[in-house]
């Protein structure tokens, strides 16, 4: 679970360990694999028309970008406790909202950094329109955010609880 302020990213120990493990893999075994793929493609001849070579180089560029992102994130990370169960929406909280006050039209999501995306629950960044609209609101309050078409939407905060990982 993360919260970014003043260039510090707050992470739970679990999230920190997961990102550190990804960085170690990308910096070690994955880097060796991509170098081997590039060398193998290079052996095939003319590099100008070698699609395998160009694809491997593009993959290498994406991988190195991710390594830099993770390195910077972990360098400024502060490991802390999960958020308090105080009914206030913030990073690391699972939030259930009702659209336009209709308690039959609800959605539950995790408010967290994109680094914390999970298959178990939808994740919205605190910087997203919905995330910034609900961030800081309390249980029972209404929140507004701007839709892509420029109109405003209103949601009601039905439930707020810390994410359990």
Maximum distance among all Cα pairs of the chain, rounded to whole angstroms = 65
Q: What is the pLDDT of residues 87-113, one digit of tens each?
A: 899 888 899 999 986 778 899 998 887
pLDDT of residue 101: 63
Q: What is the pLDDT of residues 32-74, one digit of tens each?
A: 999 999 998 888 877 777 888 889 999 999 999 999 989 988 8
pLDDT of residue 3: 45
Q: What is the pLDDT of residues 4-27, one digit of tens each?
A: 444 556 677 777 888 899 999 999
State both tokens at 11: 């992470």
d(CA 8, CA 80): 12
pLDDT of residue 165: 61
**pLDDT for 131 beyond 70:** yes
All domains in the chain, ordered by first residue: 3-79 (1.10.287.180), 93-162 (3.10.50.30)
CA 65 vs. chain centroid, Å, equals 16
pLDDT of residue 81: 65
Whether residue 129 contacts residue 145, with contact meaning beta carbons closer than 8 Å, is answered with yes
């Amino acid at each position: 679970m993360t919260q970014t302020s003043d260039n510090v990213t707050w992470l739970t120990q679990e999230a920190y360990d997961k990102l550190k493990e990804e960085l170690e893999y990308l910096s070690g075994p994955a880097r060796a694999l991509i170098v081997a793929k590039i060398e193998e493609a290079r052996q095939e001849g003319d590099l100008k028309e070698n699609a395998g070579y160009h694809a491997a180089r593009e993959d290498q560029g994406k991988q190195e970008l991710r390594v830099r992102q993770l390195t910077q994130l972990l360098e400024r990370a502060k490991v802390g406790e999960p958020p308090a169960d105080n009914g206030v929406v913030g990073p690391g909280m699972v939030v259930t909202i009702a659209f336009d006050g209709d308690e039959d039209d609800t959605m539950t999501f995790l408010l967290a950094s994109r680094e914390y995306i999970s298959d178990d629950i939808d994740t919205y960044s605190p910087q997203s329109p919905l995330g910034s609209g609900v961030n800081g609101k309390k249980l029972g309050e209404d929140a507004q955010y701007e839709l892509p078409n420029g109109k405003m939407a209103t949601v009601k905060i039905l439930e707020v609880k810390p994410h359990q990982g």
